[in-house]
Amino acid sequence: MVRTLHLRPHAWKLKEPFAIARGVRTEARVVVVELHQDGEVGRGESSGVAYHGETPESMIAQIEKLRSHLENGADRESLLHLLPAGGARHAVDAALWDLEARLSGVPVWKRAGVENWRPVESAVTVGIRTLPEYEATARLYADHPWIKVKVGADAPLDAVAAVRRGAPTTRLIVDANQSWSVEDLFRFAPGLQELRVDLLEQPVAAGRDQGLSDYTGSVPICADEALSTLDDLPRLIGRYQFVNIKLDKAGGLTAGLALAQAASAAGFRLMVGCMLGGTISVAPGLVLAQQCEICDLDGPWLQAEDWPRGIVYRKGRMSLPAPVIWG
């Protein structure tokens, strides 16, 4: 066996500036991993977790330290001990899954134990904007099954109401990205129910969420920033009803599948999400989505460019990428 590792940073242009409570981005910066072996190439991609301080450069530096291990045949199980959870491990793990699939001729989803593939429908994300723009944008996606609405602490119910006017029947996720206080949550909860919101994602800061145990609203709350790995699950019990598993944080599909199993056993309902990035960064999440009630894997859809023959979105329904790309 002769295996070689290739690494490079890449930047994908977004369709429009992506505004959330933490700031605005105009591009998705990622690391691309390629593992060449026996005439095949396994690929992985990750943008990492910016609020954990990850960048393409830092992830490349992490992976370079493992070059000899990876080129000498390190597998996914050993990778769990060689790299910490995060974007670097997600990218390498994805490349290893892809390489295994190519060398074996068995698609990743079958290797992951999925018996029958079911279609995946992703939410489409509407970033922070003016109220007329919220409504106009929602009208464009009124025939989609899910819209995810990014809000801050400033009049979030007005934003959600504008989206609801534009999309009267679409199911809604509201994501405050930690911008509210617990008191804000209790104040906004009746309005969220009235606007028929289906899920509220990380309303308060992950380290200040003790008060969520007193929440009795009808809209379930989902942990996002509060969850990265298995170690986080115990403190979420009683505070959140859903967990959003993001492979950039969990450190890849291998770890993500284990996290999903443990979260289900602990009584959590499952959502799969993603960071910004192209098809290859999101494709492993499609496999995890087979176990999840809610899917938010629209990273490539938010971009003005993507991998050739990548994931196609048709009214939120996601295709698998072409096998030549990943899986």
* Angle (deg, nearest 10), helices 87-104 and 56-64: 60
Alpha helix segments (H runs only) across the chain: 56-64, 67-71, 76-82, 87-104, 108-111, 131-140, 156-166, 182-194, 233-236, 247-250, 253-265, 279-289
Catalytic one among 110, 150, 249, 315? 150
Q: At what angle do helices 279-289 and 87-104 cross, to 10 degrees?
A: 80
Residue 224 labelled as part of a binding site: yes
Q: Which of 40, 23, 17, 22 is nearest to 326 (CA)?
A: 40
- Does residue 226 contact residue 237 with C-beta atoms inside 8 Å? no
DSSP string, 246-268: EHHHHTSHHHHHHHHHHHHHTT-
Structure tokens, 240 = 């959140």
| d(C-alpha 137, C-alpha 213), whole Å | 34
Assess whether 65 carries a catalytic annotation: no
Tell me which H or E stretch contains 150.
strand 146-150
Q: Which residue has the tokens 């505004």?
A: 19
Measured CA to CA in angstroms, residue 164 lies from 173, 196, 263 at distances of 11, 9, 31
Please give the DSSP secondary-structure letter assigned to residue 230.
G
Catalytic-labelled residue, pool 15, 65, 246, 315: 246
Known active-site residue 315 = no
Q: Which residues fall within 8 angstroms of residue 194, CB to CB, at 6 or more apart?
A: none
Is 201 assigned a ligand-binding role in the annotation? yes
Residues comprising the binding site for Mg(2+)? 175, 201, 224
Residues comprising the binding site? 175, 201, 224
Q: Which residues are catalytic?
A: 150, 246
